[in-house]
Amino acid sequence: MVKLLNMSSLKITILTLFPEYFESVLKTSILNRSQDAGVVEYQIVDIRQFAQDKHRVTDDRPFGGGPGMVMKVDPIALALDSLAGGSHQVGLPGKKTVLTSAKGRLLNQAVAREYAVLEELVIICGHYEGVDERVAEHLVDEEVRIGDYVLTGGEPAAAVIIDAVTRLLPGALGNESSTIGESHDQPGEFGHPQYTRPVEFRGWKVPDVLLTGHHAQIEEWRKNQRS
Ligand code: ADE
């Protein structure tokens, strides 16, 4: 595919204990095409590579007791430092580092738009019972959640964030589609119904107005459907 020139691109880096999770996700459809077109660049970093001991341990028991394991702060900090060429910082213009977490800020279309205008987005995938709180306190700009439910890990959340953000990048959807003027910045408004051929199937008919070729009437019908 031809590389798009003069287009600012977003670099998305994913820190994970499960790099293989993203193999198919990033090679599929629009995400893959966007990377080929130079609209976005994905980088996967295996947190385990930054574990300090010979067994490459990335989690440990929680201080104070309790079930489960907690992701350690040091491998994550070292991974971030290496990406930043030495010393990772938060609060930089054009860059955000986020941690997937069930207690984070809720991802919606406005948040996705915020991320889509960055130059760099770093997503740390939380896992196990939790992540040492010092990651949230010192190493990220914010925590983000994709819904009000608890996942086993942050990888599906990262995949959702990447998808929602990538499709907003100029050039990601090609010329045929546009996200400008999309209705679903408003909660509950998710576009109008769409139909394609056949005109009738099992007696289920496409609304007549869509077959008229009358653009103003079609637009009016679609607007009514959205509200
Ligand atoms: N980790 C566990 N649950 C999550 C959620 N809903 N969103 C993001 N990360 C999570």
**92-138: pLDDT as tens digits:** 999 999 999 999 999 999 999 999 999 999 999 998 679 999 999 99
Q: What is the mean pLDDT of residues 191-196?
A: 95
Please tell me the residue having the least CA distance from ligand 1 atom 7.
145
**170-192: pLDDT as tens digits:** 999 875 466 755 755 665 567 89
Which residues are paired to 44 by β-bridges? 14
**62-87: pLDDT as tens digits:** 999 999 999 999 999 999 999 999 99
Q: How confident is residue 160, by pLDDT bands cut at 50, 70 and 90?
A: very high
CA of 15 to the centre of ligand 1 (A): 15
Q: Say yes or no: CB of residue 157 within 6 Å of ligand 1.
A: yes
Count of C-beta atoms within a 10 Å radius of residue 111:
17
CA of 151 to the centre of ligand 1 (A): 5
Cα–Cα dist 69/61, whole Å: 5
By CB atoms closer than 10 A (0-12, 13-18, 19+), residue 18 is middle
Q: What type of residue sits at position 180?
A: I
pLDDT for the residue 41: 97
pLDDT for the residue 187: 56
By CB atoms closer than 10 A (0-12, 13-18, 19+), residue 87 is exposed
Average model confidence (pLDDT) across the chain:
92
